[in-house]
Amino acid sequence: MVKGIGGEYVVAETTTASSTHNVVRWHKGVATVLGSPAQDPTYYMTPIDVSANGTVLATWTKVGSPWESHPYVTLLDGTHKFLPEPGPGAPPGAGPWTTAKAINAHGDVVGDVGMYDDNKLVLWKGSDYSTANVLGAGHPMGIDDSGFILKAPGIKVKPGQIAKPLKKPEGATSIYVHGYDNGTAIGNAKIGTAEKMTVWNDDGSVRYVVSGGLGRSANAKGMAVGGTGWNGNDPTLWRDGQSAELPTPPPVGSTTFVTDRDTLVGSYSVGNDVFAAEWTCS
């Protein structure tokens, strides 16, 4: 996974020839290996997202049984901080099922806690990450820089604010969001029997609808990336609803994201080797 939607930072997981896993943060193309939040060979690190201020969001996961996964952040100075477990308001029996989903430009992290259909939103504020604030029920898809959380199937929520549902395209019976990068929601709408890729504006209105396709990431400039073909596995790029030519070499499947710089970040393969990259799409 390679991600870096805002600012000038990109994060990815790298693997050496000896199968050593590392989290790497790039700033303007310069790489820094971030290291582990704790020394334990039974755990491995997986990056989730990176803030425009350089804070990396990742998980520390135990190999084998019993399964455990703990979200943490790495600050710009290299300091690691585990995110505290939710307390009051967490679903009964939530146990270790706390996940982090996204981080915004201020370093605020959104995730959820619980199992199956009993999930609640969790917010960790980027000032010191000292408290896990349990919010209402839902599965988060992302958090924007104004603090609004987009939860499935397509509702923007923020503590103390009135919820803002995304509008359905004309003729749609349902919608479901798949991504909320750059404060731009992207997903699918069911119109008749067809699933159509949809991008929304910041105010929740529909920006455009595309026949077919599975949308994964978009920005406010109208660029979107996702997939077409069987199960959406063929990488596809759109600009304001029109199919656009992918860069060469093309990115791999669902590992690609649109940045607010109007570029793509992701990975591409040459033989058995996989490389992280950022593409400028002219």
Residue 31 resides in a domain: no
Residue 206 resides in a domain: yes
Compute the distance between CA of residue 3 and CA of residue 189 in angstroms, rounded to an integer: 25
Q: What is the pLDDT of residues 119-149, one digit of tens each?
A: 899 999 998 999 999 998 999 999 999 999 9
Residue 99 resides in a domain: no
How many Cβ atoms sit within 10 Å of the Cβ of residue 124? 25
List Cβ neighbours of 65 (8 Å cut-off, separation of 6 or more). none
Residue 275 resides in a domain: yes
Per DSSP, what are the bridge partners of residue 226?
215, 236
Walk along the chain (282 residues) and give the pLDDT tens digit of each residue.
667 766 789 999 887 666 677 899 999 889 999 988 988 878 889 999 999 999 999 999 888 777 778 899 999 999 999 999 887 665 554 455 789 999 999 999 999 988 656 789 999 999 899 999 999 899 999 999 999 999 999 999 999 999 999 999 999 999 999 999 989 999 999 999 999 999 999 999 999 999 878 889 999 999 999 887 666 667 889 999 998 888 888 888 667 899 988 889 988 888 888 888 888 876
How many Cβ atoms sit within 10 Å of the Cβ of residue 107? 21
Asked if 34 and 44 touch (Cβ cutoff 8 Å), the reply is no
Compute the distance between CA of residue 64 and CA of residue 221 in angstroms, rounded to an integer: 43
Q: State the pTM of this model.
A: 0.90
Q: Which amino acid is located at 157 in the chain?
A: V
φ, ψ for residue 22, nearest 5 deg: -135, 155
The count of structural domains within the chain is 1
Residue 51 resides in a domain: no
The pLDDT of residue 71: 93
Residue with tokens 């400039």: 221
Range of the structural domain that residue 221 is part of: 166-282
Residue 26 resides in a domain: no
